[in-house]
Amino acid sequence: MRAHVELIHENDYIFHAGELPFGEGRILERRLSTDEEDGSSSLSLHATADWGRSAGIAHADTEFYVVEGSLIYGGRELGAGGYIQVPKGVPMDWIKIREGSRILHWREYGDAGFDPLTSVTETDATGDVTVVDATTMEWTEATSVGPLTPLYIKLLHRDPKTGFYTRLIRAKKGWTDHRLAHHPCYEEFYTLGGRMAYNFGDIDEGTYCFRPAGVKHGHFIAETDIDWIIRSDGELTNWYTTSEWVKWGGHPENYDEHNHAHQPVISTLPVRSRSRGEWSGDGM
């Protein structure tokens, strides 16, 4: 299980050497969130020189999304908005990331292990590799519950068996929802551009969240048009809470119960990075 991360800004995190076995070149990574039980990770890659790796088989479901710069996959070059998904155990073609590029990289249900191949035809394993240029896709209006202005989506990949999906979502300036929502699946996002006021803190470009299933969240106001790339490990259903309350308290023996700085907080606080500021606990 990954920790509840809400919110961090990637610039608050340090760089590590990129954990991409059998690659050549120079690439760094920021570890947005990791699962130390199975190796699942969400990473922000920064190529400080050209970096590349030959064909092979990854030990995890593998995804790449180009934020800035370009990536070449099997001879096809993808700029910002380029996306690749390779299922676990399925051969992936050679890949090259250009110097100066920023790439989001996810490994799911496995670690960084990688078995090189001389070519993708060396194995009998089969499966569908998804390669998408999101800039060529149209935004589709998403269904909503309640009298809200719509969100817009570009579906990049969906697993037909599990419902696991990766998609782009856009909220137009002024979009708002003050209900609290929770989901039967996890929800993860990285902010590609724009700004939103939110109960956990302000969301802007580079802001990241990993929210386990069942965690309530809400009070959104889009201050500009805002875009995210969002992932969930199942069908995302919004369960809403209104007129919320939490039974929480006791007799304060030696502190001021009316002073917010003195009040105890629920122990399951999320991981937050310094630039996101303090959080009042609103929305829980």
66 burial via Cβ count (<10 Å: 0-12, 13-18, 19+): buried
Better pLDDT: 225 or 3: 225
Instruction: Say yes or no to pLDDT of 67 above 60.
Output: yes
Structure confidence at residue 72 (pLDDT): 98
Contacts of residue 215, defined as CB under 8 A and 6 or more positions apart, other chains included, come to 4, 6, 182, 270
- Cα 162 to Cα 234: distance, rounded to the nearest angstrom: 6
What's the confidence (pLDDT) of residue 146?
A: 63
What is the model's pLDDT at position 274? Answer: 78
Reported as a single tens digit per residue, the pLDDT across 159-195 is 988 899 999 999 999 999 888 888 889 999 999 999 9
Mean per-residue pLDDT, 149-157: 93
Closest CA to 7 of 191, 164, 213, 238: 191
- Model confidence at 252: pLDDT above 90: no
Backbone angles phi, psi at 10, to 5 degrees: -60, -25
Lowest mean pLDDT among 1-5, 94-98, 152-156, 278-282: 278-282
Domains, the chain, with CATH or none: 5-133 (2.60.120.10), 140-273 (2.60.120.10)
**How many angstroms separate the CA atoms of 162 and 185, rounded?**
11
Q: What is the pLDDT of residue 122?
A: 62
Interval 106-142: pLDDT, tens: 999 999 999 998 766 666 566 789 999 999 999 999 8
- Full-model pTM: 0.88
Q: What is the pLDDT of residues 195-239, one digit of tens each?
A: 999 888 889 999 999 988 888 888 899 999 999 999 999 988 888
d(CA 7, CA 233): 19
Residue 15 to residue 130: CA distance in whole angstroms:
29
**Rounded to 5°, angle at Cα 7 from 183 and 230:** 50
Nearest C-alpha neighbor of 231 from the set 260, 200, 208, 201? 208
Residue 170 CA to residue 78 CA, distance in Å, equals 21
